[in-house]
Homo-oligomer: A and B are copies of this chain.
Amino acid sequence: MARSKEIIEKLARMGEGVLEDVEAGKNPSLDITIRSLNNVYYDEKSGLIKLGDEKQKRYYFNLAQAKKFLQTILIAKQIKALLEQDKPALSIRQLFYTLKHEIPGTGENTFDVQEESDPIIEDMELMTDSLREELNLIATPNGVLAGPMIVEDKTGDVLDFTKMGSAGGAVPPIVEDDYFHIKEMSADYILVVEKYAVWNLLNQEKYWKKNNCLLLTGKGQPARAERRLLARFGEEYKIPIYVFTDMDPWGYYIYSVYKSGSINLAFFSEKAACPRAKYLGLSVKDVMDFDIPRSSWVKLNEEDFKRMEEIAAYPWFKKERWQRELADLKKFGYKIEQDALVSKSIEFTANNYLPTKISNNDYFD
């Protein structure tokens, strides 16, 4: 059964449940999974930041919940209709606009601000056990990628990511198999690069060709599409996956989002994290191993130290190797950006740093 048909049925069942409540004279209710921090945990076994099972009921006859109940039904109904009619994907802001209107004769709006509809869309993802993208709702993607992969797009276009010029191929907003069908993929490994400027340098040097790998960047903190794409790669191809970021707490965190998910979108981790991903650097040991010039070290500031402490306390950074790295960084007192490697030479990242690290298995979890 097509995925959208499954979701339509789930939404229909949800509506029927409400109807049964009404017919039985009960207060209509919906089961909503709680998305507060209390219901978020790190699952060591899977390596994922997950959402727990705690649920609460959203009632119709409850002064505090009636409007939200109505809004939930409106959104479920709209998503169902849009899926049934096979409409183009919308942004969550556009979905908000399709639903925002005055309830006739009341002077009351269905929705006033998008902050009302966004969390209900997250409720929907959980109620139908689907990704927002499967509900035909998208976020703006930012990433680009290059390397030995051929994809058949939903449009019918065939995209060869070895022939995407100096821009690379753009990551589309929906990377599910029926939109972004990977026909061929012969990379030996996948390299995720935090920053566009470094990705671009590697792309110009055809790093992906010389090393037969896929080269992806999310341009800093990745958007949903890049995370989901990496998760697909992790599941579908048993090749190594490396994440190359700055040596600072922000770089570490970006790595952990790709690998384990994020707290805010814990419900998204299972489908959009890649627990097999390894941290390729930079690490404090590299500074000496590769003789990174002192002039490219940047003093850690107060905010960095604060963020390091927060990160050290996250359960997904509790592994001994990470605790040591964080302690080393604290002692070292400087951060180093991946950009800084050009101070050795412009080709250093592509010709020395990355190949050495990879061939020495010099990465960690």
**Footprint of B on A, CB under 8 Å?**
82, 87-91, 93-94, 97-98, 100-102, 109, 138, 140-142, 144, 151, 153-155, 157-159, 163-174, 179-180, 196-197, 200-201, 204-205, 219, 293-296, 337, 339-343, 346
**A89 to B, closest residue via Cβ:** B204
Interface contact B94-A201, CB-CB below 8 Å:
yes
Q: Cα distance A102–B293 when bound, in Å?
A: 10
Which residues from B are CB-within-8-Å of A90? 197, 201, 342, 346
27 pairs from A and B in contact (CB 8 Å cutoff):
A82-B346, A87-B346, A88-B204, A89-B200, A90-B201, A91-B197, A91-B200, A91-B339, A93-B197, A93-B337, A93-B339, A94-B201, A94-B342, A98-B343, A98-B346, A100-B343, A109-B295, A140-B219, A142-B142, A144-B170, A153-B167, A154-B166, A157-B164, A166-B179, A167-B172, A167-B173, A173-B200
Interface contact A173-B165, CB-CB below 8 Å:
no
Please give me the 3 A-B residue pairs with the lowest Cβ-Cβ distance, nearest first.
A153-B165, A91-B197, A167-B172
Q: How far is the CB of A227 from chain B (nearest CB, A)?
A: 16
Which residues from B are CB-within-8-Å of A163? 157-159
**A99 to B, closest residue via Cβ:** B343
Interface contact B142-A167, CB-CB below 8 Å:
no
Interface contact B339-A97, CB-CB below 8 Å:
yes
Which residues from B are CB-within-8-Å of A157? 163-165
Q: Is the interface of A mostly helix, strand, loop or mixed?
A: mixed
Chain multiplicity (copies): 2
Which residues from B are CB-within-8-Å of A151? 165
A167-B169 contact in complex given A91-B197, A93-B339, A100-B295, C-beta closer than 8 Å = yes
Which residues from B are CB-within-8-Å of A140? 196-197, 219
**A165 to B, closest residue via Cβ:** B153
Q: Cα distance A165–B149 when bound, in Å?
A: 14
Q: How far is the CB of A45 from chain B (nearest CB, A)?
A: 35
Which residues from B are CB-within-8-Å of A341? 97
Q: Cα distance A343–B201 when bound, in Å?
A: 43
Q: How far is the CB of A64 from chain B (nearest CB, A)?
A: 24
Interface contact B340-A97, CB-CB below 8 Å:
yes
Q: How far is the CB of A166 from chain B (nearest CB, A)?
A: 4
Q: Cα distance A105–B25 when bound, in Å?
A: 87
Q: Cα distance A316–B180 when bound, in Å?
A: 44
Which residues from B are CB-within-8-Å of A109? 295
Which residues from B are CB-within-8-Å of A174? 166
Interface contact A346-B88, CB-CB below 8 Å:
yes
Q: Cα distance A82–B342 when bound, in Å?
A: 12
Which residues from B are CB-within-8-Å of A141? 167
Which residues from B are CB-within-8-Å of A155? 165-166
Q: How far is the CB of A261 from chain B (nearest CB, A)?
A: 24
Q: Cα distance A342–B88 when bound, in Å?
A: 11
Which residues from B are CB-within-8-Å of A168? 170
